[in-house]
Structure 1
Amino acid sequence: MLRTLATALSAIALALSLPACAQAPKAPAAAQDADPALWVVKDRDTTIYLFGTIHVLKPGLTWFDEAVKAAFDRSQELKLELVMPDPAAMASLVQATGTAAPGTPPLSERLPAAKQAAFRRAVTDLGLPADALDRYKPWLAATQLSIAPLSKLGYDSANGPETVLTEAAKAAHKPVTGLETAEQQLGYFSGLSDTAQIRFLESTVDELPTVADQMQRMVGDWAGGKPEALAAEMNDSLKDSPEVAKVLLVDRNARWARWIKDRMAKPGTVFIAVGAGHLAGPDSVQAQLARLGIKARRVRY
């Protein structure tokens, strides 16, 4: 089965979430040490750090310290998957790419009959009308259904590495740029075939009951510096959908590796932070770099 939560967390879906579900006030979380994986690529006058992220976290994980903080402090610039546009511009992009064409049957009716009731139930469980997502393309409905429940579980992008790193970079007057644009990332999803998008949505509906357990395992592997275990959770299931794997993982990793190779020709130190699923497995950014003759070394700490 395609692990849709992992797929959503590896791309732009977090920026597309429905309004957060209401949460009861929670007591401050106790600090918990996390040591996520970090890699470095170096030559005589250029250093590039590769840091894998999970885009939403619960409060209390202390990961921005030790080797990660030292590497960030040494860097002159921060490179993310993308720098988010302002909310109005993002909303316009989402509407342009994620809304079905006029005359398209309601999304709930495009799913197999056996999935339709579960789909409507998933939507109403978010406090929305049953037809609230019917004008969406399947990929947008799938990503929103995958991500929206996480806020109810206590996960928040405000605690995520991208937010923390961006704020630190701005405070230190370091430039922050993206490897991709929002238009590109939305285009990757929207460009999937209709068959792949429907299957993506079907798998989302199937997986919703296990979202809490999936997320707990992924965060545990990330915090424990276990990239291969994280890859098994996030990427191995993409084998069931070669089209999704190629578009959302393999091709992007290859492009980023070529960017790194080109950047190595210019002196300086760069801190790159991308979804952790891109930095593990046989098609990882590091594997793509190796095919270009460049070795990434794990930073032990």
Structure 2
Amino acid sequence: MSAIAAGLCGSARAGPAHDWPLWVIRSGGGVVYLTGEIPPEATDWSDARTEALLPQCGVLWTETGRTNRAPVGPLIVRYGFDAKIPLMSRLDATDKDRLAKAAALAHLPVERLSQFRPWLAAQQLDDAYNHVRGLKGLSANQVLSADAQKAGISVQSEFAAQDDFIAWFGALSPEEDLQRLRATLDDMLAPPEDAERANADWLRGDDRRSAAEVARMKRVYPEMYRLLLLDRNRAWIPRIKTMLQDPKPSLIVVGSYHLVGPDSILAQLRAERLPVKRL
């Protein structure tokens, strides 16, 4: 996963698990495996059980493709910069104070963010904070995508290329854009142990803390929640139905927040009466 794509996962950090969360959907002879990932750790992601499934699959599905059709730099400028409306003019006093605190944690001068749209400021802060904390390990997406390419297994993505992902963020409304930044500031300024406990629980099969955070996102940032989670969760269902028609299994990797709560991909599958079981 690229630095830009990392912001789409929607979860915080946690330690390794012996049995990484993994689900299977079986229908009409078709098989789809579904798993979640968290943002980068200090070490590369690894799970023997999930990795052993990949060679049996005909396709690996991820959230964001790793290629780009055009140079990324001009795309970032086009969709992520706004010289006419400086970032600080979009923020109230509380936002500015929180932004300053988050920038200090990330060792990033606030002035460097001045021409960024809120979504890009959020991404830059998150990437810099990961760097400061030494979170440079490869994600599940990166590890599995590299393995799939080596094995000649097709890799397909919700956003086929980086261009599509950047343009998607570029299409955020002003309110969605601002909510994206505020949610990132919430994550950065919260006690790290809160996220660590939530993810440790999720990895053990207890999603109550993660579901509570998703519910808070829905309550506090409803526009961003709809766009970032609800709409995209719903869009996975027809894709999965198509995958179930394939002769070989498919393996899907999404951010862990897409797998918790009443609007999750798992809940959407059950609503469609597609049998899903945790392995």
TM-score normalised by structure 2 residue count: 0.83
Using the alignment, how far apart are the partners of 1:56 and 1:288 within structure 2? 27
Residues 1:34 and 2:13 aligned together: no
Q: 1:60 to 1:258 in 2, by over 3 A?
A: closer
Q: Would you say the 8 A contact 1:59–1:159 is kept in 2?
A: yes
Q: Would you say the 8 A contact 2:107–2:132 is kept in 1?
A: no
After TM superposition, give the deviation of residue 64 of structure 1 in Å: 1.3
Residues 1:179 and 2:161 aligned together: no
Using the alignment, how far apart are the partners of 2:96 and 2:75 within structure 1? 28
Q: Give the 4+ runs in structure 1 shifted more than 4 A.
A: none
Q: Which amino acid letter does the alignment assign opposite residue 245 of structure 1?
A: Y
Q: 1:57 to 1:88 in 2, by over 3 A?
A: farther
Residues 1:283 and 2:263 aligned together: yes
Q: Would you say the 8 A contact 1:37–1:52 is kept in 2?
A: yes
After TM superposition, give the deviation of residue 270 of structure 1 in Å: 0.7
Q: Which runs of 5+ in 1 are unaligned?
A: 1-6, 12-30
Aligned residue for 1:190? 170
| Number of equivalences | 269
Q: Would you say the 8 A contact 1:36–1:222 is kept in 2?
A: no
Aligned residue for 1:271? 251
Residues 21-58 of structure 1 show CA distances to partners (whole Å, capped at 9, x for unaligned) of xxxxxxxxxx9543221111113432110011113122
Q: 1:46 to 1:205 in 2, by over 3 A?
A: closer
Q: Would you say the 8 A contact 2:119–2:180 is kept in 1?
A: yes
Moved more, 44-53 or 120-129: 120-129
After TM superposition, give the deviation of residue 155 of structure 1 in Å: 1.5
After TM superposition, give the deviation of residue 257 of structure 1 in Å: 1.0
Aligned residue for 2:35? 51
Using the alignment, how far apart are the partners of 2:135 and 2:194 within structure 1? 13
After TM superposition, give the deviation of residue 161 of structure 1 in Å: 0.6
After TM superposition, give the deviation of residue 60 of structure 1 in Å: 7.0
Using the alignment, how far apart are the partners of 2:194 and 2:271 within structure 1? 32
Q: 1:124 to 1:33 in 2, by over 3 A?
A: closer
Secondary structure in structure 2 of the residue aligned to 1:55 = coil
Q: Would you say the 8 A contact 1:261–1:289 is kept in 2?
A: no
After TM superposition, give the deviation of residue 231 of structure 1 in Å: 3.0
After TM superposition, give the deviation of residue 250 of structure 1 in Å: 0.7
Secondary structure in structure 1 of the residue aligned to 2:251 = strand
Of the three residues 54, 71, 81, the one matched with 2:53 is 71
Aligned residue for 1:19? none
Map 1:239-254; keep pairs closer than 5 Å. Answer: 239-254=219-234
After TM superposition, give the deviation of residue 144 of structure 1 in Å: 2.3
Determine what percentage of the aligned residue pairs are the same residue: 28
Q: Would you say the 8 A contact 1:43–1:264 is kept in 2?
A: yes
Q: 1:153 to 1:34 in 2, by over 3 A?
A: farther
Residues 1:130 and 2:110 aligned together: yes
Using the alignment, how far apart are the partners of 2:129 and 2:148 within structure 1? 30
Q: Which amino acid letter does the alignment assign opposite residue 62 of structure 2?
A: L
Residues 1:168 and 2:150 aligned together: no
After TM superposition, give the deviation of residue 121 of structure 1 in Å: 5.0
Q: Which amino acid letter does the alignment assign opposite residue 42 of structure 1?
A: R
Residues 247-300 of structure 1 show CA distances to partners (whole Å, capped at 9, x for unaligned) of 11111111111111122223221111111111121111122122333121111x
Q: 1:33 to 1:291 in 2, by over 3 A?
A: closer
Map 1:114-125; keep pairs closer than 5 Å. Answer: 114-120=94-100, 122-123=102-103
Q: Which runs of 5+ in 2 are unaligned?
A: 1-5
Q: Which amino acid letter does the alignment assign opposite residue 43 of structure 2?
A: P
Secondary structure in structure 1 of the residue aligned to 2:254 = strand
After TM superposition, give the deviation of residue 153 of structure 1 in Å: 1.7
Residues 1:231 and 2:230 aligned together: no
Using the alignment, how far apart are the partners of 2:151 and 2:111 within structure 1? 46
Using the alignment, how far apart are the partners of 1:292 and 1:224 within structure 2? 26
Q: Would you say the 8 A contact 1:9–1:54 is kept in 2?
A: no
Q: 1:42 to 1:93 in 2, by over 3 A?
A: same
Aligned residue for 2:71? 89
Using the alignment, how far apart are the partners of 2:155 and 2:207 within structure 1? 25
